[in-house]
Amino acid sequence: MKKNLILMILLISVLHGFSQHKTAYQIFNSKGELITYEKMIAVMSDANIILFGELHDNPISHWLQYEVTIDLSQNHKLMLGAEMVEADNQVELNQYLKGEIDQKALDTLARLWPNYKTDYAPLVNIAKDKQTNFIATNVPRRYANMVFKKGFEALNELSDEEKSWIAPLPIEYDPELPGYKSMPSMMGGHGGANLPKAQAIKDATMAYFIAKNYMEGFKFIHYHGTYHTDNFEGILWYLKRLKPDYKYITVSTVSQPDVNILIDENKGKADFIICVDENMTSTY
List Cβ neighbours of 141 (8 Å cut-off, separation of 6 or more).
Answer: 86, 111
Question: Cα(269)–Cα(226) distance, rounded to whole angstroms?
Answer: 9
Note whether 56 and 115 are within 8 A (CB): yes
**Nearest 5°: phi and psi at 245?**
-90, -5
**Which of the residue ranges 7-16, 123-132, 212-221, 239-248 would you say has the lowest mean pLDDT?**
7-16
Question: Cα(128)–Cα(214) distance, rounded to whole angstroms?
Answer: 17
DSSP state of 280: -
Predicted TM-score (pTM) of the model is 0.91
Average pLDDT score, the chain: 92
Residue 187 vs residue 47, higher pLDDT: 47
Tell me the fold of 25-277: Rossmann fold (3.40.50)
- The domain limits of the chain are 25-277
Cα dist. 144→101, 124, 210 in Å? 29, 24, 18
